[in-house]
Amino acid sequence: MGRIIGFVSIKGGVGKTTLALETASVLANDFGKKVLVVDANFSAPNVHLYLDLTQPEFTLHDALLGVGLHNAIREEHGFDFVPASLTYMQDVDFFRLKKVLSKFRNRYDFIILDSSPNYQELIPVVAACDSIFVVTTPDDITLTTSMKAANLSRRKGTPIDGIVVNKIRSPRYELSLPEIERISEIPVVAMIPDNKKMAESIYYKTPISVFSKSNNVSREIRKFAGVLAGLPEKLGFMQRFLPFGKEKVNREVMRKQFYMPQL
């Protein structure tokens, strides 16, 4: 049965959509997994725009109103996705999300939910997930707001598998990994640098993991996705002889959730 995971934050612009799509791309193309991305940003969806689909015929909103979800599923870059509607006018019960997705769990290894930064819209997303990853940038303002998503998950009983720190630009003036873990009390499982190639990949509507596989962003997402896929992380030459760093320890925490159960 497939696992439903969500990328969440109570702040726009942290890179949830990009991270969801990049993770899906790597899981599908590098690790042979069957993946479905669902745009669960109900009021301001943009997954379809990232994938160069301007006017989807059917969307998640239609599925939540009773149209079969299979009608809304599209394929791009090796993985499936479900767009949502930017202009839907009817009232929709977003809490039907879990029920709608449950019928497709056996068809996919992973169903990845891209969430809304809107607190009320985030509640049904968290409820539909088996576990979530909190996404933040390495500044105290964003981390503070992102913790609202983590606290919501804790109250709803949805496990938090870790924090993904995105868009690292100038570490000297940003929160360090130990500081983020101390403040959040959640392990950091990926540290993704900012890179100008990301803007280029968005312009060409192609995941950076496809557009530039050797890029440092692609490499870090591949390590992160590899744990999701149930694979041991490959160590570089120097890592084999150096003591385990904090990052390695934290990915081991994540590995217990995704790798060990598959042994």
- Return the pLDDT at 1: 81
Write down all domains in the chain, each with its CATH number in brackets: 3-262 (3.40.50.300)
**Average pLDDT for consecutive 10-residue bins of the chain (263 residues)?**
94 94 97 97 94 93 96 97 91 96 96 96 97 96 94 95 94 93 93 92 92 92 92 57 43 52 41
Q: Is 68 helix (H, G, I), strand (E, B) or coil?
A: coil
Cα separation values, 139 from 115, 160, 183, 243, 251, Å? 21, 20, 11, 28, 21
- Return the pLDDT at 231: 81
- Return the pLDDT at 230: 86
DSSP assignment of 130-196 equals SEEEEEE-SSHHHHHHHHHHHHHHHHHT--EEEEEEEEE--GGGS--HHHHHHHH-S-EEEEEE--H
Is residue 153 within 8 A of residue 8, CB to CB? The reply is yes
Q: How many CA atoms lie within 13 A of 186 on its CB side?
A: 25
Residue appearing with tokens 């997303």:
125
Q: CA–CA separation, 90 vs 65, rounded Å?
A: 9
What global pTM score does this model have?
A: 0.90
Strand order in the sheet with 160-168: 74-76, 79-82, 35-40, 110-115, 3-8, 131-136, 160-168, 188-193
Beta strand pairing call for 160-168 and 131-136: parallel
- Return the pLDDT at 247: 45
Please give the helix or strand (H or E) that residue 82 lies within, else none.
Answer: strand 79-82
- Return the pLDDT at 235: 54
Alpha helices in the chain (DSSP H): 16-29, 47-50, 60-64, 97-102, 119-128, 140-156, 177-184, 196-203, 208-211, 216-228, 246-258
Residue appearing with tokens 């009390």:
185
- Return the pLDDT at 150: 95
- Return the pLDDT at 5: 98
